[in-house]
C-alpha cells in the first residue's frame, strides 16, 4: 500500500526494505542470542545514510524529512526491532535535539560525525527518575569555565556503541525542573564511563546500560541549549521521539503479521492450509485492520511535525496505539503459529518479546494517556 507516499518516499521505503531483508535479517537471530549489535551492520547503517536522515547535506546528512526517518525505522524494525531503535534514537532524539538546540559551532563539530561514524545516546533516565523524568539526581556544578558532573544514568539506549551523549543534569537543585541543563559529553571524557549492561526480555541486541559520572569535567561550551532550559529540550525532543517509537512498533507488528500470513498459507490441517479456516482469517484480518489504524496515526503525527504544526496530542496517540496494537498483533501471530510460535525456531516469539518495550520507554502508556487527556479536556 502506498499510504499516501510520494514516489520518492515509496522508492526510499523499498530500498530500506531490501537492505533490511538482505543485510540485516541474516544477523538477527545471532544478535538476539548474543545480545550484541553487529558492528559491521552499524557501519552499513552509516554507509546507507540512515544515521543522519534529517541532517542537511552540508553536514554530511541526507537532508530528508522526519517522516522519511520514520519510514526507515519502520522498515528496519520489520526485520529487527533492536536495529530499528538504534536508528530511531540516532535520528529522532539525538540528531533532532542537536539540530534544534545546538549552536552553529556544535552543529559543525558533531552533525558530520553523527551522520557518518558516531552513534549517539540520549541520557535522561535515572534509578529514581522514570515517568517522573525531572526528579534528577545527577548533578552539574559550575567551576570556572567548566561543569563537573556527578551521578549516574540508567536504561540508556545505544550506550555501548555511542561516542556522543546528550546528558541531562541539575545545576541548581532548588530550582526544580528549571535547574536541569543538557550537556554534550564525548566518549572517553575523564570521569565518564559506561557501566552495567542490562539483560533484557526483548530488543536484546540494542544495548541498554548504566552511565557513571565521577567528577566528569565538561566545558561550558558543551551545554546544549541554555542553562536551566534542559527540561524544554527534553520534553520537546521526546515528543518527536515518541513518533519514532511508534514507527518502530509498526515495523515489529508488520514483521509478525507477514510471518503469520506466510505460515498460515503453508501450514496444513485437516487436509488444507489453515489460512482457509475462517477463524484464522478473522485473526489475520483483525490484526491487519488494527495495524493499519495505528500506521495512519503514526504517519499523521510525523506529517504534522514536518509541517511545523502542533502534534503533541497526535504523537501521544500514535505511540499509545501503536504499542498496544504491536503487542496484540505479535500475540495473535504466535496463536497462528500454534506450538511452533512458542519456539525460537520461528521468528514470532522474538517479535512478541520486542513488542513489550513500546508500552514502557520514551513515556509509558499511562503517561501518553495523561497527555491525551490534558489535550482534550484542558
> How many residues appear in the chain?
378
Check if 226 is active-site.
no
Query: Which 8-state DSSP code applies to residue 360?
Result: T
Return the bridge partners of 218, or none.
147
At 164, list the grid cell: 556522543
Contacts 24+ apart (CB under 8 A), 151-154: 151/126, 151/213, 152/126, 152/127, 152/195, 152/210, 152/211, 152/212, 152/213, 153/123, 153/124, 153/125, 153/126, 153/210, 153/211, 153/213, 154/125, 154/126, 154/127, 154/210, 154/211
Return the bridge partners of 180, or none.
170
DSSP string over 233-270: HHHHHHHHHHHHHHHHHHHHHHHHHHHHHHHHHH-EET
At 36, list the grid cell: 550484541
* Residue in 126, 210, 349, 362 annotated catalytic: 362
Q: What angle do CA 55, 57, 63 make, to 5 degrees?
A: 50
DSSP string over 310-338: --HHHHHHHHHHHHHHHHHHHHHHHHHHG
Return the bridge partners of 170, or none.
139, 180
CA dihedral 225, 228, 231, 233 (to 10 degrees): 0
Active site residues: 362
Amino acid at each position: 500500500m502506498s499510504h499516501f507516499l510520494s514516489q520518492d518516499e515509496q522508492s526510499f521505503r523499498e530500498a530500506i526494505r531490501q537492505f533490511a531483508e538482505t543485510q540485516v535479517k541474516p544477523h538477527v537471530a545471532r544478535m538476539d542470542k548474543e545480545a550484541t549489535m553487529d558492528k559491521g551492520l552499524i557501519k552499513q547503517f552509516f554507509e546507507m545514510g540512515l544515521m543522519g536522515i534529517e541532517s542537511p547535506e552540508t553536514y554530511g546528512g541526507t537532508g530528508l524529512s522526519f517522516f522519511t526517518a520514520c519510514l526507515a525505522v519502520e522498515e528496519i524494525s520489520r526485520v529487527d526491532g533492536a536495529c530499528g531503535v538504534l536508528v530511531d534514537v540516532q535520528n529522532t532524539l539525538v540528531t533532532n535535539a542537536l539540530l534544534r538546540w545546538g549552536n552553529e559551532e556544535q552543529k559543525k563539530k558533531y552533525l558530520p560525525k553523527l551522520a557518518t561514524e558516531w552513534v549517539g545516546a540520549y541520557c535522561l533516565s535515572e534509578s529514581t527518575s522514570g515517568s517522573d523524568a525531572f526528579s534528577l539526581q545527577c548533578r552539574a556544578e559550575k567551576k570556572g569555565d567548566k561543569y563537573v558532573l556527578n551521578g549516574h544514568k540508567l536504561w540508556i539506549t545505544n550506550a555501548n556503541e555511542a561516542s556522543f551523549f546528550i546528558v541531562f543534569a541539575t545545576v541548581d537543585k532548588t530550582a526544580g525542573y528549571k535547574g536541569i541543563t543538557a550537556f554534550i559529553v564525548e566518549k572517553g571524557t575523564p570521569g565518564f564511563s559506561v557501566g552495567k549492561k542490562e539483560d533484557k526480555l526483548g530488543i536484546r541486541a540494542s544495548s541498554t546500560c548504566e552511565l557513571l559520572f565521577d567528577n566528569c569535567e565538561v566545558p561550558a561550551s558543551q551545554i546544549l541549549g541554555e542553562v536551566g532550559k534542559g527540561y524544554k529540550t527534553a520534553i520537546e525532543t521526546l515528543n518527536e521521539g515518541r513518533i519514532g517509537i511508534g514507527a518502530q512498533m509498526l515495523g515489529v507488528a508488520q514483521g509478525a503479521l507477514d510471518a503469520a500470513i506466510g505460515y498460515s498459507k503453508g501450514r496444513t490441517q485437516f487436509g488444507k492450509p489453515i489460512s482457509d479456516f475462517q477463524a484464522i482469517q478473522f485473526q489475520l484480518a483483525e490484526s491487519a485492520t488494527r495495524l493499519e489504524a495505528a500506521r495512519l496515526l503514526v504517519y499523521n503525527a510525523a506529517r504534522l511535525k514536518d509541517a511545523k504544526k502542533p502534534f503533541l496530542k497526535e504523537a501521544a496517540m500514535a505511540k499509545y496505539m501503536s504499542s498496544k496494537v504491536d503487542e496484540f498483533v505479535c500475540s495473535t501471530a504466535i496463536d497462528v503459529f500454534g506450538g511452533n510460535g512458542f519456539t525460537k525456531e520461528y521468528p514470532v516469539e522474538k517479535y512478541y518479546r520486542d513488542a513489550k518495550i513500546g508500552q514502557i520507554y520514551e513515556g509509558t502508556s499511562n503517561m501518553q494517556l495523561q497527555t491525551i487527556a490534558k489535550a482534550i479536556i484542558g
